[in-house]
Amino acid sequence: MSTTATAVEGEHHHHGPAKGIGRWLFATNHKDIGTMYLWTALAMFFLGGAFAMVIRMELFQPGLQLVNPDWFNRMFTMHGLVMVFGAIMPAWVGFANWQIPLMIGAPDMAMPRMNLLSYWLLPVALLVLVSTFFMEGNAPAFGWTFYAPLSTTFAPDTADFFIFGVHLLGISSIMGAINVIATIVNLRAPGMTLMKMPMFVWTWLITAFLLIAVMPVLAGVVTMMLTDRNFGTAFFDASGGGDPLMFQHIFWFFGHPEVYIMILPSFGVVSQILPTFARKPLFGYASMVYATGAIAFLSFIVWGHHMFATGLPLAGELYFMYATMLIAVPTGVKIFNWAATMWRGSMTFEAPMLFSIAFVFLFTIGGLTGLMMAMGPADMQYHSTYFIVAHFHYTLVPGAVFALMAGTYYWLPIWCGRMYDEKLAKIHFWLSAISVNVLFFPQHFVGLAGMPRRVPDYPLQFADFNMIISIGGFVYGLSQLMFVYIVVKAIRSGKPTPDQVWEGAKGLEWELPNPLPFHTHTTPPRVD
Ligand code: CU1
């Protein structure tokens, strides 16, 4: 066959792993690409965190002291965009790259070079987004939801760079999702049937379908913005026959599933970790799979709950209310299963377990406030207050971020072949768990008392709580520096990972073969 010669020739070009920077620039190995995703996400976590620190410093006391209102708007806009698209989503893609091939017994991702392209589009897109700070007109200030007409008629020219950045991020995400699906569908080891797959793989498979379904919707809405802004269309402009509310419908058709894109992999990670440290198999595996699928399906048909205050028709409001409340059913199944997994288990409380247990408790708080907001008439009161901010930060910080921390401590020994310092990790956990509640719990109170979100200043009555919130924010932010220290320390001087990383994983079917040296290239020679 004619491909044989090419294959042999190809081998010459791939004689051993590339050295120096080339190893990273031209990486096609799922581990190297996963590593790049994870470091990029961590850097963006701190950039988004820096914006959050500015926000909390400004709100530390009433009155304007640090930034003017325009800068404040830029800060919360970029905070949201960087955290969602730069930190949480790429971090999960990093996890997917590292873990999915290992967990299903695949040699690599199905399309290694597309994988490389997916990755490199990411820093380019983030650079496009962040470089708007240095352009005339300055960075976008229309919130991460960039509602029209604020983002169309009333935004500076840098909004076009924002649109370009979102397109690039979308292409990167879609290609990443295609790769995940192709890998799981085609490259499972013999015997790895779908219903034997580890929960992390299942949740990522479903996440990938969500991404493919809604990232084009996001691309569509920013394209409509682009043509509204530059080519005389009036999709969102009532004076030209359009409708600004249509923006919200399209945006939230993307936006609500997007929330689950960030949280489903968390469900997967926690479903791996709880059994290991409870020394029991996951309770209700099949129901976990079906619950994940049900949540994903429901996520497409509830977007109107973001729009109760726009004056939906009564029938529409009732529909979105009941559909949204339905999500509590599969979510309840999951929480029950996690509790039942721990029930009468012989639990130990290493850092991954601590973060996972905190996830179960604190994500549930976010779920319950979500249920409160799902009630249309009540939402008219909560709408656009700090109560909303409290709600979604509970789902995304002690939700997604805690699961990312749990997963990192759990799998770092496999990723770098070395153990982290358990004592420091426990301190990191307790600092994070306490400060995250000091940071976000009182936001429920100021929200219910009527403090609006996205404001740089507030009346005196909110001063005490805001100071407490800010202190919680500073402690939480500083504590995450400890995480970097622990990870770097493990990589540089951690004890070598033992044959059995987690004693509790013994006998559980998703136990991984290890230790896998950091620089091992398991990819077989390519024959394309
Ligand atoms: Cu939603």
Q: Is 453 a catalytic residue?
A: yes
172/518: higher pLDDT: 172
**In the predicted structure, residue 522 carries a pLDDT above the cut 90:** no
Residue of 30, 79, 229, 428 marked active site: 79
Per-residue confidence (pLDDT) for residue 509, from 0 to 100: 52
Q: What is the mean predicted confidence (pLDDT) over 313-324?
A: 97
Q: Give the confidence band of 517 by pLDDT, cuts at 50, 70, 90.
A: very low
Confirm whether pTM is higher than 0.75: yes
CA distance 204 to 206: 5
Per-residue confidence (pLDDT) for residue 341, from 0 to 100: 96
- pLDDT > 70 fraction of the chain, expressed in percent and rounded: 92
Ligand 1 centroid to Cα of residue 282, in Å, is 28
Residue of 305, 391, 393, 418 marked active site: 305
Q: Which of 433, 365, 438 is nearest to 401 (CA)?
A: 433
Q: What is the mean predicted confidence (pLDDT) over 413-422?
A: 94
CA distance 415 to 408: 9
Ligand 1 centroid to Cα of residue 205, in Å, is 21
Ligand 1 centroid to Cα of residue 392, in Å, is 10
Q: Is 74 a catalytic residue?
A: no
**In the predicted structure, residue 429 carries a pLDDT above the cut 60:** yes
Q: Which of 466, 442, 437, 448 is nearest to 384 (CA)?
A: 448
DSSP letter assigned to residue 192: -
Q: Is 393 a catalytic residue?
A: no
Q: What is the mean predicted confidence (pLDDT) over 310-320?
A: 96
Q: Give the confidence band of 9 by pLDDT, cuts at 50, 70, 90.
A: very low
Q: Give the confidence band of 520 by pLDDT, cuts at 50, 70, 90.
A: very low
Q: What is the mean predicted confidence (pLDDT) over 435-460?
A: 97
Residue of 74, 229, 306, 393 marked active site: 306
Q: Is 173 a catalytic residue?
A: yes
Q: Is 334 a catalytic residue?
A: yes
Per-residue confidence (pLDDT) for residue 309, from 0 to 100: 95
Per-residue confidence (pLDDT) for residue 150, from 0 to 100: 96
CA distance 356 to 273: 7
Ion ligand 1 neighbours (CB, 5 A) are: 256
**In the predicted structure, residue 515 carries a pLDDT above the cut 50:** no
Per-residue confidence (pLDDT) for residue 191, from 0 to 100: 85
CB-CB contact of 436 with 398 (8 Å): yes
CA distance 342 to 76: 38
Q: Is 386 a catalytic residue?
A: no
Q: Is 331 a catalytic residue?
A: yes
Q: Is 470 a catalytic residue?
A: no
Per-residue confidence (pLDDT) for residue 504, from 0 to 100: 79
**In the predicted structure, residue 414 carries a pLDDT above the cut 80:** yes
Q: Give the confidence band of 55 by pLDDT, cuts at 50, 70, 90.
A: very high
**In the predicted structure, residue 451 carries a pLDDT above the cut 80:** yes
Per-residue confidence (pLDDT) for residue 13, from 0 to 100: 52
Burial level of 144, CB count in 10 A (0-12/13-18/19+)?
middle
Q: Is 435 a catalytic residue?
A: no
CA distance 450 to 461: 10
Q: Is 444 a catalytic residue?
A: no
CA distance 41 to 88: 7
Per-residue confidence (pLDDT) for residue 99, from 0 to 100: 96
Per-residue confidence (pLDDT) for residue 117, from 0 to 100: 98
Per-residue confidence (pLDDT) for residue 513, from 0 to 100: 44
Q: What is the mean predicted confidence (pLDDT) over 463-475?
A: 98
**In the predicted structure, residue 416 carries a pLDDT above the cut 70:** yes
Ligand 1 centroid to Cα of residue 262, in Å, is 13
316/514: higher pLDDT: 316
Place of tokens 């988004």: 48
Q: Which of 217, 220, 72 is nearest to 142 (CA)?
A: 72
Round the average pLDDT of the chain to a whole number and report it: 93
**In the predicted structure, residue 452 carries a pLDDT above the cut 50:** yes
- pLDDT > 90 fraction of the chain, expressed in percent and rounded: 89
Per-residue confidence (pLDDT) for residue 16, from 0 to 100: 58
**In the predicted structure, residue 38 carries a pLDDT above the cut 60:** yes
Architecture of domain 28-511: Up-down Bundle (1.20)
Residues 6+ apart with CB under 8 A from 219: 166, 167, 170
Q: What is the mean predicted confidence (pLDDT) over 446-467?
A: 97
For 197-215, the pLDDT digits (tens) are 999 999 999 999 999 999 9
**In the predicted structure, residue 12 carries a pLDDT above the cut 70:** no
For 272-291, the pLDDT digits (tens) are 999 999 999 999 999 999 99
Helix (H) or strand (E) holding 346: none
Q: What is the mean predicted confidence (pLDDT) over 421-445?
A: 98
Per-residue confidence (pLDDT) for residue 508, from 0 to 100: 66
Q: Give the confidence band of 8 by pLDDT, cuts at 50, 70, 90.
A: very low
Q: Give the confidence band of 19 by pLDDT, cuts at 50, 70, 90.
A: confident
Q: Where are the domains of the chain?
A: 28-511
Give φ, ψ of 211 to 5 degrees. Answer: -60, -45
For 110-125, the pLDDT digits (tens) are 999 999 999 999 999 9
Q: What is the mean predicted confidence (pLDDT) over 100-106?
A: 92
Q: What is the mean predicted confidence (pLDDT) over 124-143?
A: 97
Residue of 108, 228, 317, 350 marked active site: 108
Q: What is the mean predicted confidence (pLDDT) over 362-383?
A: 96
The amino acid sitting at 63 is G
Q: Is 384 a catalytic residue?
A: no
Ligand 1 centroid to Cα of residue 169, in Å, is 21
